[in-house]
């Protein structure tokens, strides 16, 4: 209500006839609306981030599961290939040795009918050569010894003989042959080594 004569003018903000009432409430409504919009936007951003993190987790988890399955399949394939190679190796070895076994059977039959020692010796030499050749075809080789320098990787010294006839640490006698398969020593040679 307004008064004349230098009295203060008071505006009743609560009355229905107040023209400023709507403007003030609109201003308050705008501020609240902006704050609400900001809160909603922040919540939406957080929800989007959580959703993205969940998707990333699912993707990484799926990759891990696929890798684990691939590794398990790889391990099984490797085991299967290893068993296959072992079987193939045995097959090759036995097929080469079957010829030798056949010749042993023939020699046994002929020994029953032969009294000549030279025939027996010849049959033995043939069989020995055949089995040696079969082993060589499979990669087995004899370790050289007599006259060579002692090598602890290839030879096992079971005797030492003091002598000046040979250089020190030279092999002067082979007591048992040693064998290698490729570069791998299957059995070292038992040798007698010269010492000065």
- Catalogue the long-range contacts made by 87-91 (C-beta closer than 8 Å, 24 or more residues apart): none
Q: Mind listing the domains of the chain with CATH numbers?
A: 23-138 (3.90.20), 141-196 (2.30.22.10)
Residue 1 predicted with pLDDT over 80: no
pLDDT for 101-125, tens place per residue? Answer: 787 777 777 777 777 778 778 878 8
Residue 36 predicted with pLDDT over 80: no
Token readout for 81 is 């290939």
d(CA 75, CA 161): 53
Least confident of 19-23, 49-53, 78-82: 19-23
Residue 71 predicted with pLDDT over 60: yes
Residue 22 predicted with pLDDT over 70: no
Q: What is the mean pLDDT of residues 4-33?
A: 55
Rg for the chain, CA atoms, rounded: 49
Residue 2 predicted with pLDDT over 50: no
Displacement of CA 62 from its chain's centroid (Å): 23
- DSSP code per residue over 33-60: HHHHHHHHHHHHHHHHHHHHHHHHHHHH
* The model's pTM: 0.52
Nearest to 180 by CA among 148, 146, 150, 145: 145
d(CA 96, CA 28): 101
62 vs 43, higher pLDDT: 62
56: left (phi over 0), alpha (psi -120 to 50) or beta: alpha
Token readout for 29 is 């409504």
Contact indicator for 188, 156 with CB cutoff of 8 Å: yes
Q: What is the mean pLDDT of residues 35-51?
A: 81
């Amino acid at each position: 209500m307004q008064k004349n004569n230098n009295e203060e003018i008071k505006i009743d903000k609560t009355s229905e006839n107040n023209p400023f009432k709507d403007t003030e409430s609109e201003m308050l409504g705008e501020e609240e609306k902006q704050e609400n919009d900001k809160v909603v936007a922040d919540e939406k951003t957080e929800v989007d981030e959580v959703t993205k993190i969940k998707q990333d987790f699912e993707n990484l988890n799926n990759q891990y599961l696929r890798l684990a399955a691939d590794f398990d399949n790889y391990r099984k394939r490797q085991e299967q290939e290893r068993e296959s190679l072992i079987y193939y190796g045995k097959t090759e070895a036995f097929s080469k040795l079957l010829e030798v076994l056949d010749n042993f059977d023939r020699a046994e039959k002929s020994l029953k009918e032969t009294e000549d020692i030279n025939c027996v010796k010849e049959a033995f030499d043939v069989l020995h050569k055949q089995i040696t050749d079969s082993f060589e075809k499979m990669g087995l080789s004899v370790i050289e010894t007599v006259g060579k320098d002692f090598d602890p990787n290839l030879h096992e010294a079971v005797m030492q003989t003091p002598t000046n006839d040979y250089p020190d640490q030279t092999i002067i006698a082979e007591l048992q042959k040693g064998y290698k398969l490729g570069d791998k020593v299957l059995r070292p040679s038992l040798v007698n080594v010269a010492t000065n």
